[in-house]
Structure 1
Amino acid sequence: MLQVKTFHIEDKIRKVHKEAQRTRQSLLLSVTEKIEGMDPFAFFESGKQIDEHRHFWKSADEDFTLVGISSAVSITKEGEDRFPAMEKDLLGWMNRVRSWNPSDKKGTGAVALGGFGFCEVSVAGEPWETFPNSNMTIPKFLLTNDREGSYLTTNLLLTPEEDVEEISMSVEEEKERLLHPVEEEGVSVRLEEIEEVRPEEWKQTIAEATEDLTKGSLRKVVLAREVRLTFDAPASITKVLQDLSEMQNASYVFCYEHGGAYFVGATPERLVKVEHDELFSACLAGTTLRGDTEDEDDELGDELLQDEKNRVEHDYVVQMIRSAVEQYAEEVDVPEGPSLYKLRNLQHLYTPVKARLKEGYSLLDVVKDLHPTPALGGLPQQEAVEYIKNHEEMNRGWYASPIGWIDGGRNGEFAVAIRSALLHDNKASLFAGCGVVESSDPESEYEETMVKFKPMLAVLGGKE
């Protein structure tokens, strides 16, 4: 059995509760302790005993994993002002945190995890019925793993009316269950059906979009489609996360749970990261397959680097991200041309962006202006979004949207939720899109989406 050195937090609960009674306001107690190494997948699996509101985040380029269980504070927003409104509420809660955190590491303490819908207003209907438009949650229990070890944060919302003894006993019992997981025998799940949702109609939409692009100021639009899977039983989300982490180890692996539905995926695309005021973003646009041999792989990569359509699309993204970052940062550094970013199934054109965040701005300021990038929306940005709303039959929900985390020390990271699926009961909806320009060919764009479905199909029982 895993031996964990924990300490009781009842005295801290009493101290903060007395302040809550004196000031007549709710306060957030946050206690972080270093624990012996904890498997994040076991912690995530154990979390379903506590609450069906779990979060998982694994970094693409460093040994860093966050697992959130249950909710101390949950903030939901909708509408055109959702980003600044979320920022305001998060800042309000961060000012009401009473923290004990000897490690003072990034990603510990009162960390908020979540995401934003692609559109500013939710679109009712399947498969996103249980998901809010935008939500950030400070979890009740947070496991943070980095190369130096494991850290457990307990976040408790304390109101003046709270029963201190009752909450203290409950917290210790829940921690015991999380830190000493009981192994469960895995259940084998079989994929029974793969259904492409109106593929011919989608190709016709692509053809119509190429015509529309010749008539106005719209230069590019990204149109997505859906594939639905049916299993003989509900899939194990923990196993999906384990398989994604193993097979897509150069991607961000994520899961967000709302109302029994799970938005899960492995995306290679960072939107923006801020660490100690250093800002990092990335332009990832332009896709091709990996080769079966080293020579074939190099040939495919060289073709991508020389492909005019993909280079033009990539440059759209580079210029848009540079423009957005320059509003909030200084010392902006962008390479002259792209390189190749190679994943298990795919390779992409890639250009990193580095800068220093200006005083007075935050991570969510940058996220607001970057979403959606031309790689997921189009150009001009707002015109492309309106075109998507009017012509794309699929409900995007959180697909192609910012997902990530932010802590109280201005650190955080958001990725773009592609290579993803929404799972509920024994069903899954997979999403993939492509950038449409005047020269686009519907059949070629269809084949590109089939390539982009591969990472999720591989872990859900489809062919790789």
Structure 2
Amino acid sequence: MPASADQSAPALVVRTRRIPDPGDLVAIIPPDVDSADVLSWLRDGEGFVGWGRAAYLETSATSRFADADAWWSDLVGRAVVRSEVEVPGAGLVAFGSFAFAADSASPSTLIVPRVIVGRRGGLAWVTTISGSLEQPPSPREQPIAVRPANLQTRPGALDEDGWAQAIGVAVQRISAGDLDKVVMARDVFITGQEPLDARWLLERLSTSYRKTWTFSVDRLIGATPEMLVRREKALVTSRILAGTIQRTGDDEHDLALAASLARSSKDLEEHEYAVRSVAEALDAHCSSMNVPEAPFVLHLPNVMHLATDVAGVLSDSSSSLALAAALHPSAAVCGTPTWKAREVIADLEQMDRGRYAGPVGWIDSSGDGEWGIALRCGQIQGDPATIRLFAGCGIVAGSDPQDEVAESNAKLRPMLSALHD
């Protein structure tokens, strides 16, 4: 399926004006907005939330990124934009989320909200699109988000034992020389008594994981620590994570674990594959690049990662979405070599990832934007009381299946905590 749902770009009227600091952005989202129409991109109190749909695109197959980029370019060309705020993310913005695999049954989406409220660098603004006269309500007027009740858990495609067996097979194939690395994912279903409230999840994720990017696009909700690509004018950056260790809650012990992670040959090998794949993909679009020689340890509340920030100077006119397409899938979410890792994933995971591990983020009318990787996330299902959670681990020759199960459980923790707290 190429593209559908408002495939012809409409002519939008966009107005952006400054407003006083609105406080908690998640609390501004009206309580009667369906989870499918709750949109979010927040980190450390900055970013934006949106709701409603002024324009919407669904696309799929290998052309999903190109279709979306062309549709967005057409929509921008037709729009009338009046903005008092000149920062990336002000004015006309689309939120997007893309399927991991070209043959996924899940469509990829771009959504232009009717209302966006944002904050960046001391500025706050509201954008209304297509004549909407809605004003952002005060957070004090909003009822408390609905807490999930009577949650039940069931395994997805594979239970823990079955997934551990699949990891064992993947390690055998790596040891036999079929490939260097593969990222294996698993899923878990959580069902509550009532439809899940996206605002509840966003409130908890944005508070507990402030240094991640808390996102919500078309019922895909999460807090990703990994920035696939950011484009701001001519500067292109990417944060690569690969190599993980669980935190214990004991600061002194965690510092020792961080030091061991930084020396781990298994984790350094996994990280090197991921950095190399991103640097090679960006090189075709950049006139110069900075790739640090060694990673640093990123500390998150639940885990620690080996991390590398790559930066480059853009040498062509590629939009942030086009750059995300060039980078996807990186070795951090697929493996090395890519084509072989895809084969192993399709053979052993026994599930459609949907939009898990695909690019998620936003693009503005200038082509600037931020696209993270949809990790630490869940997809609210057709049954709105059920959410499908995902977690994945990088597998190399030295991987132990039971250790990977434990790591996957640690990566499920952000969403599980947001649901149960």
- Taking the TM superposition and a 5 Å limit, the aligned residue runs for 1:23-62 are 26-38=10-22, 39-46=24-31, 48=33, 52-59=36-43
SS in 2 for 1:242: helix
Q: Given residue 107 of structure 1, which amino acid in structure 2 is its aligned partner?
A: G
Alpha-carbon shift at residue 321 of structure 1 (Å): 0.9
The one-letter code of the counterpart of 2:385 is N
Q: Is the 8 A contact 1:193 1:230 kept in 2?
A: yes
Aligned to 1:370: 327
The one of 175, 179, 189 aligned to 2:137: 179
CA distance 1:375–1:191, shift in 2 (3 Å): farther
* Secondary structure in 2 matching 1:27: coil
The normalised TM-score by structure 1 is 0.83
- Please say if 1:446 is aligned against 2:420: no
Q: Could you tell me which residue of structure 2 aligns to residue 100 of structure 1?
A: 82
Moved more, 40-49 or 245-254: 40-49
Of 299, 302, 312, which residue of structure 2 is paired with 1:342?
299
Is residue 121–residue 133 contact of structure 1 (8 Å, CA) maintained in 2? no
Q: Which amino acid aligns with 1:349?
A: L
Displacement after TM superposition at 1:238 (Å): 0.9
TM-score normalised per structure 2 = 0.91
User: Is the 1:195–1:227 contact (alpha carbons within 8 Å) kept by the matching residues of 2?
Assistant: yes
- Which residue number corresponds to residue 377 of structure 2? 420
Q: Which residue of 2 aligns with 1:252?
A: 213
**Counterparts of 1:242-391 in structure 2 under 5 Å?**
242-257=203-218, 262-391=219-348
Contact 1:116 1:135 (8 Å CA) reproduced: yes
Q: Unpaired runs of 5+ in structure 2? A: 1-8
Correspondent of 1:112 among 90, 94, 99? 94
Return the match for 2:164 from 162, 185, 203: 203
For 1:188 and 1:207, the matched residues in 2 are separated by: 38
The corresponding residue for 1:147 is 121
Which digits, 9 at most, give the CA deviation of each residue in 1:244-289, with x for residues without a partner?
A: 11111111101123xxxx2111111110101121111011101112
Would you say 1:74 and 2:74 are equivalent positions?
no
Structure 2 partner of 1:227: 188
Distance in 2 of aligned mates of 1:87 and 1:47: 31
The answer to whether the 8 Å contact 2:188/2:390 transfers is yes
Amino acid at match of 2:137: L
Deviations 1:420-453 (A, max 9, x none): 1123422222111111223322111111111111
Q: CA deviation at 1:203?
A: 1.4
Residues 52 and 292 (structure 1), Cα distance of their counterparts in 2 relative to 1, 3 Å cut: closer
For residue 66 of structure 2, the aligned residue among 84, 100, 103 is 84
Aligned CA distance change for structure 1 residues 338 and 155 (closer, same or farther; 3 Å): same
Secondary structure of the structure 2 residue equivalent to 1:460: helix
Q: 1:47 deviation in Å?
A: 6.1
| Alpha-carbon distance in 1 for matches of 2:123, 2:86 | 13
Q: What SS is found at the alignment partner of 2:389? A: strand
The secondary structure found in structure 1 opposite 2:351 is coil
Partner SS, residue 449 of structure 1 = helix
- Tell which deviates more after alignment, 231-240 or 97-106: 231-240
What number of residue pairs does the alignment pair up? 407
Aligned to 1:239: 200
1:191·1:231 contact (CA, 8 Å) conserved in 2? yes
Change in 2 beyond 3 A, CA 1:300/1:410: same
> Distance in 2 between the 1:54 and 1:423 partners?
12
CA 52–311 in structure 1, closer or farther in 2 if over 3 Å, else same? closer
Using the TM superposition, give the Cα deviation of residue 291 of structure 1 relative to its aligned residue in structure 2, in angstroms.
3.6
Amino acid at match of 1:40: L
Q: 1:235 to 1:365 in 2, by over 3 A?
A: closer
Instruction: Tell me the equivalent position of 1:4.
Output: none
Distance 2:273 2:205 in 1: 30
SS in 1 for 2:30: helix
Give the corresponding residue for 2:109. Answer: 135
The CA deviation at 1:187 is 4.1
- SS of aligned partner of 1:288: strand
Distance 1:187 1:29 in 2: 34
The residue number in structure 1 matching 2:5 is: none
Gaps of 5+ in 1: 1-24, 124-131, 157-167
1:52 positional shift:
4.7
Change in CA separation of 1:185 and 1:340 when aligned onto 2, cut-off 3 Å: closer
1:15-30 superposed matches below 5 A: 26-30=10-14
In 1, Cα distance between equivalents of 2:289 and 2:195: 46
**Which amino acid counterpart does residue 204 of structure 2 have in structure 1?**
D
SS where residue 95 of structure 1 aligns?
helix
Deviation at 1:188, TM superposition (A): 4.1
Structure 2 match to 1:14: none
Instruction: Show the counterpart of 1:399.
Output: 356
SS state of the match for residue 143, structure 1? strand
